[in-house]
Structure 1
Amino acid sequence: MGTPKILVANRGEIAVRIFRSATELGWQTVAIYTEKDESHASYADEAVLLDSPARFMDADHIADIARRTGCTHVHPGYGFLSESPKLAALFSTPHPNESASIIFVGPSVETLKIASDKMLSRELATSIGVPTAPGIRVSSVADVHQFIEKLGPCPFPIILKALDGGGGRGIRLVNAAGDVENAFQRCLGESPSKQIFAEQALVGRGWKHVEVQVVGDSQGNVTHLWERECSVQRRFQKIIEMAPSTLPRTAIEPVLEAALKMARKLRYAGLGTFEFLVNAQSHEWVFLEINPRIQVEHTVTEEIVNVDLVHIQLLLSTKTTTLTDVLPNHTISPPPPFGHAIQLRLVAEDPVRSFQLSPGTLRPSDISWPAGRGVRVDTWLSTGPSAHNPGFEWTIGVDFDSVLAKIIVHAGSPSEATEKAQRALRELRISGDVKTNRELLAGVLAHPDWREGAIHTRWLEEAPDEVLRLGNDRLRVKKAQPNPLSSSTTGASSASTPAEGTSGTILLQPGSSSQLSISSSPLSDSDTQAQKHSLVLSTIRHNAFPNELSGTVTTSLSPEPLAFSLLQLSSLATSSHFEFADPRDPSHLSCPIAGKIVELHPALAAFGDPSVSHAFIREGEPLVVVSVMKMESVVNAPRSGKVSRLGKGIEAGAVVPEGTLVCILSPTENGGLARL
């Protein structure tokens, strides 16, 4: 065979990661990408433009691209079709006019059928004596209620999961019978296969999420590369991971052995992660699921065992390569882990605004990454050797995962790694219109529970405000004292100092005067009809412009000074496509988050249909379901009324910015809203 050529059927930082390892092996590389999301493609030798993000989930289309570009291998990365038996099956036999089949870099089709199905994985575990939590496959809300009844007098909480979910998607925790229907519908909406199962939830104090990195070859040989602990989560989505776990070895050894036992039963080939829940107090543990692919958090394992997991994965895709060839020191008994590693997931979310996605654009000048000994950054916010556009910028939207970068640190001990991670976060700078969870990450690392090993799977959701406060305190930069004369006259000592995390190129001071022109249509140079008003910043209370600005203004619009607070919203879409709700008008119902509309209230969906005589919405009913990175959120109607009109551009499939007007409810004759 000549030089291998690999198609990476993924995007973002994992695609960059695979391209780098493949290039080091001397392989040729092919990328697939969509408009405004091509940075990873600049690391490949060839690139193919997809006509929509949905193509990442089209197995036949990906297979066709692999054949048209003459690839010998296909690597699915993680997410998308990485656990799809269908995609792997398309390469199991040679295509007509091909002398050899394309190699799928992953487990066999037979292994994927079991490992990608959470119920089949549980059945495998049970068959060989590996403990699991009670669970059952469900196809309706009634099935879930029957399962709850069988659990006895204290069944809650339970978890509903999509069989093909992952990354926090397709998972809902249910604490009461009344929450079942909504949770079931949301899991169903986030599941490509529309298959759900219910499981008794082992969450909260004491329970830690521990996963074992397994490597196998096609000869039936398997080994482990130790474990990772991933208990810092929100909505079952991991935020910080570490390796190895801080649990005692006596609690970890049975889990390692269980992972190897299952892998041997499957004759597992390639990389895989076997996940468990372990109770820190009782050391009780249960099997959770198998992830038959490379994991987002594979980086911390690489740091503590000093291997390139993608390099190994690529080599093991050839059936003649064995574990002894790629891991000669690990086949009998893996060497002990070296040091301690932590991974921080930097995501485009605003913790202050209920962790809403923060879409927008970023430029190279907006970012400064941490560096130094023991600090690694895996990101797609970069440009590869084939990028030639000097005005390059990155777009953060709603179609893909919100991860901007993974910051990985490695040191000799957990405490040293924690201090190094804190230092890396202090060095990190992300400015522009995209918010991140930087303060949240710093707050977790600063919390006593982190240092004492008291983190559990629900810990972060129990105290997000405290964590954010700690993070802000830890990252706050001491600034030079302002001019005393200036502060005494303005009442705003930090008025002209840009806040940390902003570009600091815009100087705003008390006394700044502006002229405001107001017109009913866009102004032109010759427009003389616009009303002109003076606007003077009297005092500045907080200056993080353009992200946030507050204080008082004196203006010809009002005889009295006015207090103001300017908070920048997302730049997901331009207002010409939609209209924004007036927060002062109670008849305006808005969408409080940015995302893609996947479902509308029946009254909205049928609005304008002459066969529908009434279009009523009742308080508390789901007004709109919005998908953000494939996770669905329900926006309930805050009040009742009759729909008088839809907001501009409101329809299923529309991608709307935060604050968009969804609809207007008609008032009653007495001026109030209709009471139904």
Structure 2
Amino acid sequence: MPKVLVANRGEIAIRVLRAASELGWDTVALYTENDFSHDTFADQAIKLNTPADYLNVEAIVKAAVNAQCTHIHPGYGFLSESPALPLALDSSITYIGPSPSTLRIASDKMLSRDLADSLNIPIAPGRRVQSAHEAQDFARSIGYPVIIKALDGGGGRGIRIVNEEGSLEEAFKRCLGESPSKQLFVEKALTGPGWKHVEVQIIGDGTDVNHLWERECSVQRRFQKIVEIAPSHLSREDVRPLLDASLKMAKKLQYKGLGTFEFLVNVDTPRRQWVFLEINPRVQVEHTVTGKTFEAPLNQRSVDALSTIEEITGVDLVRAQILLFSPNNKVTLSDLSLLNPPPPPKGHAIQLRITAEDPEKGFQLSPGTLRGRDVNWPGGRGVRVDTWLTSAPIDGTEEPQWTIGTEFDSLLAKIITKGATFEEATEKAKRSLRELRLGGTNGTSKLKTNIAVLLGMLLHHDWRAAGGTIDTLWLERNLATVLQLGSNSTTKARRRPKGLDASVQSTYLPDPGSSPGSGKNNVLLQPGSLFHLTLSTPGQTASQSTKKHAITLTTIGQNAFPEALSGSFQSTFLDSKPIEFTLTQSTSASISSSGDFELADPNDPMHVGAPMTGKIVELHAALREAQAPSTDDGKRRTLVRKGEPVLVFSVMKMENVIVSPCDGYVRRVGAGVRAGVIIGEGTLICVLEERNTSRL
């Protein structure tokens, strides 16, 4: 009996586990602390020590050997493009993916470009660089804008566009920090009006290869796709050169398994100028829009009943991928009825990526916690949801709860809609987003998502015009309008039905199955509730530090405690008049309970605080200087310029910078702030003093 270890997590792990189970294979999942919803879909689960172990070849192989697996499926991300994983396996374990020699070329963006160039396939001017100075020299020779890329980047990581020389060095540093191999290259930036991102789905058996048509992925934020459509808006005539180029490269590689060959196409040029971009030698996030789905009922609390077959071609890609590596290792494209050229795609499919991000803050991650009651998935004919916010039914379990942390990608779910026409698929997508609820509709949750962006995009006239004017930078140029359109539509969708008396709402909102006083979630709070508050300072005697106060709630506006509580109160330590308040719980990781860190004062402009949770990668020289033992030698302190990075921190393997709000000097650094530590949202990084008030 074949037994497969899925070396991944989240929705793609569930996708693969389901497909393998349908084939009768035994399945093994990997999981980490607070991230285990996918493991309920496996026959066996193995806990990794840390999230970093998903990138640890030795840990993955050890898990597969100990579980006596016959196969390893890498999913996407993590080790899916690393030749090191299949090379570490002995003959008793089969790697479900391309050969190590194919991965070596396909996973290296420069080697892939070299392959394309050798086959007379057009590429953008580019070269490998070892330093920022070398990158500047090359950029001058080909002209700005240019793109700096990590050879092993992906998912928007390790990539920066540079429009002028002054910003190249900083972009180079950030890309270098996001590259595991510390290898970068620079190429001419082909972005903006006219340039569309189109990719071809390839499948091969090691001898023969075939395509399954193309997808368009031009709606992107920070160079990461958030919307995919199939087929693209290109004519079949314009698609043909991309198909031919993909097949030519795949045949040269003797490709086996699933792969995607990506291109940029300029629709504003008469002959549709195009260039090869890169190869993704694995299953992709957007694979769902390439095949066909059958309809299944959707429970509002889970998505377990959904099919896992894709949209426009009728091919279950993951099932086909697994079958190509079945135990006898002799399954061919012919056996799968995939050897002959596929018929033209039928219908149109749209995939929307739902992410835990705040679009109003540069799409920064919005960590937090979701419970079963916080989620309402869309359903109906032509709608499919792939998500990790679910679990296989297990008797005796409590309400499911999921943690969105900083270690993994922000993807929460993929909503895929299918229609006979592009317009029909669009209407299903809009309806689905209006039905979707993540984290409540009345402000009780601070979890931010990109739902408004996706809905606004679908309502924008450029999308309604069949996406003809949407290019790879379209969302960045139109984000404000898109957000407004989406927010207005979302608000309208949340109105109560007529005839429902809002006054019947109670200030007590119990959990299903809980009762007042049970200690679970919301608590009974009423106007007039009196509290006694005792304040004391650690390390001092009670007589020295203890202060007692009384607080009474005079009104309650909203009770969703602990997520949110608003109203007014009177107290013995503030003005005797009622004071209005709003208390909301941050969904980011909290500040250390040990007191190792301190909070920034949001009302003090000289306090520089962390906008979110992340791992400190680099400190400005002025912060390191302020932390060093004082010599008081009268030397001038290092000046921090306005807009200059004060601190660099990593979130989901992407580097983010916190900049100085003014020209000034560092008065002091926040407690516990040092390279390598994880800081929570609201942590004080440093206190500045403006330049004109500083000692010279």
Q: Which moved more, 1:644-653 or 1:75-84?
A: 644-653
Matched letter for residue 420 of structure 2: G
Matched letter for residue 457 of structure 2: V
Equivalent residue number for residue 73 of structure 2: 75
Q: CA contact under 8 A between 2:219 and 2:470: conserved in structure 1?
A: yes
CA–CA separation in structure 2 for the residues paired with 1:353 and 1:369: 26
Q: What's the TM-score, normalizing by structure 1?
A: 0.87
Q: CA contact under 8 A between 1:625 and 1:634: conserved in structure 2?
A: yes
Partner residue of 2:332 out of 300, 322, 336: 322
Equivalent residue number for residue 365 of structure 2: 357
Shift in Å at residue 665 of structure 1? 3.7
Equivalent residue number for residue 614 of structure 2: 595
Shift in Å at residue 569 of structure 1? 3.2
Equivalent residue number for residue 281 of structure 2: 292
Partner residue of 1:47 out of 22, 45, 48: 45
Shift in Å at residue 86 of structure 1? 1.1
Equivalent residue number for residue 414 of structure 2: 406
Equivalent residue number for residue 650 of structure 1: 673
Equivalent residue number for residue 60 of structure 2: 62
Equivalent residue number for residue 604 of structure 1: 623
Shift in Å at residue 588 of structure 1? 2.0
Partner residue of 1:168 out of 156, 168, 171: 156
What's the CA shift string for 1:407-450, capped at 9, x where partnerless?
Answer: 11111111000111111111111114422111111111111111
Q: CA contact under 8 A between 1:362 and 1:433: conserved in structure 2?
A: no
CA–CA separation in structure 2 for the residues paired with 1:410 and 1:646: 54
Partner residue of 2:313 out of 305, 329, 349: 305
SS of the residue corresponding to residue 56 of structure 1 reads helix
CA–CA separation in structure 2 for the residues paired with 1:595 and 1:514: 38
Q: CA contact under 8 A between 2:590 and 2:681: conserved in structure 1?
A: no
Closer/same/farther in 2, CA of residues 202 and 440 from structure 1, 3 Å limit: same
Shift in Å at residue 292 of structure 1? 0.3
Equivalent residue number for residue 501 of structure 1: none
Shift in Å at residue 464 of structure 1? 1.2
CA–CA separation in structure 2 for the residues paired with 1:142 and 1:485: 65
SS of the residue corresponding to residue 226 of structure 2 reads strand
Matched letter for residue 171 of structure 2: A
CA–CA separation in structure 2 for the residues paired with 1:673 and 1:576: 35
Q: CA contact under 8 A between 1:570 and 1:657: conserved in structure 2?
A: no
Matched letter for residue 316 of structure 1: L
Answering whether residue 177 of structure 2 is matched by residue 157 of structure 1, we say: no
Any gaps of 5 or more consecutive residues in structure 2? 292-310, 440-444, 510-520, 539-544
Closer/same/farther in 2, CA of residues 160 and 649 from structure 1, 3 Å limit: same
Equivalent residue number for residue 694 of structure 2: 674
CA–CA separation in structure 2 for the residues paired with 1:16 and 1:581: 40
Shift in Å at residue 480 of structure 1? 5.8
CA–CA separation in structure 2 for the residues paired with 1:323 and 1:427: 40
SS of the residue corresponding to residue 225 of structure 2 reads strand
Equivalent residue number for residue 145 of structure 1: 136
Partner residue of 2:655 out of 632, 637, 648: 632
CA–CA separation in structure 2 for the residues paired with 1:506 and 1:596: 32
CA–CA separation in structure 2 for the residues paired with 1:495 and 1:587: 42
Q: CA contact under 8 A between 1:188 and 1:195: conserved in structure 2?
A: yes
Answering whether residue 208 of structure 2 is matched by residue 221 of structure 1, we say: yes
SS of the residue corresponding to residue 305 of structure 1 reads coil
SS of the residue corresponding to residue 530 of structure 1 reads strand
SS of the residue corresponding to residue 256 of structure 1 reads helix
Partner residue of 1:38 out of 36, 39, 45: 36
Shift in Å at residue 593 of structure 1? 2.6
Partner residue of 1:342 out of 350, 353, 377: 350
Shift in Å at residue 45 of structure 1? 1.3
Q: CA contact under 8 A between 1:640 and 1:674: conserved in structure 2?
A: no
Aligned pairs (5 A) from 1:260-271: 260-271=247-258
Equivalent residue number for residue 469 of structure 1: 484
SS of the residue corresponding to residue 334 of structure 2 reads helix
Closer/same/farther in 2, CA of residues 391 and 508 from structure 1, 3 Å limit: closer
Q: CA contact under 8 A between 1:409 and 1:421: conserved in structure 2?
A: yes
Matched letter for residue 335 of structure 2: D
Partner residue of 2:341 out of 333, 344, 347: 333
Matched letter for residue 165 of structure 2: A
SS of the residue corresponding to residue 242 of structure 2 reads helix
Equivalent residue number for residue 181 of structure 1: 169
Shift in Å at residue 547 of structure 1? 6.8
CA–CA separation in structure 2 for the residues paired with 1:507 and 1:105: 51
Q: Which moved more, 1:424-433 or 1:35-44?
A: 424-433
CA–CA separation in structure 1 for the residues paired with 2:37 and 2:402: 8
Shift in Å at residue 466 of structure 1? 1.0
Equivalent residue number for residue 250 of structure 1: 237
Q: CA contact under 8 A between 1:362 and 1:394: conserved in structure 2?
A: yes
Closer/same/farther in 2, CA of residues 517 and 241 from structure 1, 3 Å limit: farther
Equivalent residue number for residue 190 of structure 1: 178
What's the CA shift string for 1:340-387, capped at 9, x where partnerless?
Answer: 111111111122333221111111121111111111111111112568
Q: Which moved more, 1:560-569 or 1:245-254?
A: 560-569
Q: Which moved more, 1:74-83 or 1:44-53?
A: 44-53
Q: CA contact under 8 A between 1:8 and 1:31: conserved in structure 2?
A: yes
Q: CA contact under 8 A between 2:621 and 2:638: conserved in structure 1?
A: no
What's the CA shift string for 1:520-568, capped at 9, x where partnerless?
Answer: 3499xxx994222455459x7x999877788988877347776766665
Matched letter for residue 467 of structure 1: V
Closer/same/farther in 2, CA of residues 90 and 575 from structure 1, 3 Å limit: closer
Matched letter for residue 221 of structure 2: R
Equivalent residue number for residue 489 of structure 1: none
Equivalent residue number for residue 97 of structure 1: none
SS of the residue corresponding to residue 180 of structure 2 reads coil
Aligned pairs (5 A) from 1:205-220: 205-218=193-206, 220=207
Equivalent residue number for residue 3 of structure 2: 5
Closer/same/farther in 2, CA of residues 199 and 522 from structure 1, 3 Å limit: same
CA–CA separation in structure 2 for the residues paired with 1:570 and 1:605: 30
Equivalent residue number for residue 663 of structure 1: 686
CA–CA separation in structure 2 for the residues paired with 1:42 and 1:522: 46
Closer/same/farther in 2, CA of residues 132 and 576 from structure 1, 3 Å limit: same
SS of the residue corresponding to residue 324 of structure 1 reads coil
CA–CA separation in structure 1 for the residues paired with 2:528 and 2:457: 42
Answering whether residue 629 of structure 2 is matched by residue 623 of structure 1, we say: no
Equivalent residue number for residue 278 of structure 1: 265
Shift in Å at residue 8 of structure 1? 0.8
Equivalent residue number for residue 86 of structure 1: 84
Matched letter for residue 694 of structure 2: A
Shift in Å at residue 403 of structure 1? 0.5
Equivalent residue number for residue 478 of structure 1: 495
CA–CA separation in structure 2 for the residues paired with 1:497 and 1:468: 33
Closer/same/farther in 2, CA of residues 562 and 134 from structure 1, 3 Å limit: farther
Q: CA contact under 8 A between 1:570 and 1:594: conserved in structure 2?
A: no
CA–CA separation in structure 1 for the residues paired with 2:646 and 2:160: 20
Aligned-pair Cα RMSD in Å: 3.2
Shift in Å at residue 22 of structure 1? 0.6
CA–CA separation in structure 1 for the residues paired with 2:119 and 2:688: 59
CA–CA separation in structure 1 for the residues paired with 2:73 and 2:501: 62
Closer/same/farther in 2, CA of residues 255 and 26 from structure 1, 3 Å limit: same
Matched letter for residue 660 of structure 1: T
CA–CA separation in structure 1 for the residues paired with 2:210 and 2:228: 21
Shift in Å at residue 278 of structure 1? 0.9
Shift in Å at residue 496 of structure 1? 9.6
Q: CA contact under 8 A between 1:206 and 1:280: conserved in structure 2?
A: yes
Q: CA contact under 8 A between 2:53 and 2:59: conserved in structure 1?
A: yes
Q: What's the TM-score, normalizing by structure 2?
A: 0.85
Shift in Å at residue 335 of structure 1? 1.4
CA–CA separation in structure 2 for the residues paired with 1:275 and 1:544: 47
Q: CA contact under 8 A between 1:587 and 1:673: conserved in structure 2?
A: no
Shift in Å at residue 657 of structure 1? 2.4
SS of the residue corresponding to residue 572 of structure 1 reads coil
CA–CA separation in structure 2 for the residues paired with 1:144 and 1:497: 61
Matched letter for residue 116 of structure 1: S
Equivalent residue number for residue 442 of structure 2: none
Aligned length: 640
Partner residue of 2:124 out of 117, 126, 133: 133
Matched letter for residue 69 of structure 1: A
What's the CA shift string for 1:634-674, capped at 9, x where partnerless?
Answer: 11122355544432332223322222111234689xxx742
